[in-house]
Amino acid sequence: MALRRGFKSEASDLAEEVRGELGLSRFDRMDPFALARHLAVPVIPLSDLTATCSGAQYFLAVEPGTLSAVTVFEGVRRIVVHNDTHSPARQNSNVTHELAHGLLLHAPAPALDSATGCRDWNADHEEEADWLTGELLVTRPMALAVARGKFSRESAMERLGVSRKMLQWRINATGAAKQAAREADRFS
């Protein structure tokens, strides 16, 4: 499975544009809740739904790991419901992922396939949304700054509100690790 040709540079441009609209420098934290307000997408914590929806209670109490976030469509309007029992770093990535689908104009798909009852899964869309999530939360220049040792991993995680896993993935996937290693070789 690979992202289609040209997607990464489109995603990078899109992320830069969106972060710019939010007034963020390349080293600033992107708050997905601020992005949601900017996009006029309501974000509802799953715990708010427990009083009215037994399904929500199930996800929170019985299988808290199962549901991260989901986009609900009301006509063309998107609403993001997210699991607010997850760690703040995970919530940031879960909510950004859902908003990324919207930014990429992924068409609404039913969460469940009506014929089989299974989750309808578009692997290409998921991979694209994951990639754009990374671009929005950890820019390549930021990943490079961490790989060069200008920020420690801990301070970058704190600053950006992301998990160690997300940060490390970006450092590797953007080629920042390789670039920093090459530079270190050259100057040693």
Cα of 124 vs its chain's centroid, Å: 15
Residue closer to Zn ion by CB (options 27, 169) is: 169
Cα of 140 vs its chain's centroid, Å: 15
Residue closer to Zn ion by CB (options 29, 125) is: 125
Shortest gap between Cβ of 5 and Zn ion (angstroms)? 21
Q: What residues form DSSP beta bridges with 80?
A: 43, 71
Residue closer to Zn ion by CB (options 23, 110) is: 110
Residue closer to Zn ion by CB (options 135, 180) is: 135
Shortest gap between Cβ of 71 and Zn ion (angstroms)? 8
Compute the distance between CA of residue 29 and CA of residue 67 in angstroms, rounded to an integer.
25
Shortest gap between Cβ of 10 and Zn ion (angstroms)? 18
Which residues of the chain form contacts with Zn ion (CB under 5 A)?
A: 126, 129
Using CB atoms within 10 A of its CB, is residue 35 exposed (0-12), middle (13-18) or buried (19+)?
buried
Collapsing DSSP states into helix, strand and coil, what is residue 78? strand
Structure tokens at 127: 């991979």
Residue closer to Zn ion by CB (options 31, 126) is: 126
Shortest gap between Cβ of 123 and Zn ion (angstroms)? 10
Is 33 in contact with 43 (CB distance < 8 Å)? yes
Shortest gap between Cβ of 131 and Zn ion (angstroms)? 11
Backbone angles phi, psi at 81, to 5 degrees: -105, 125
Is 11 in contact with 101 (CB distance < 8 Å)? no
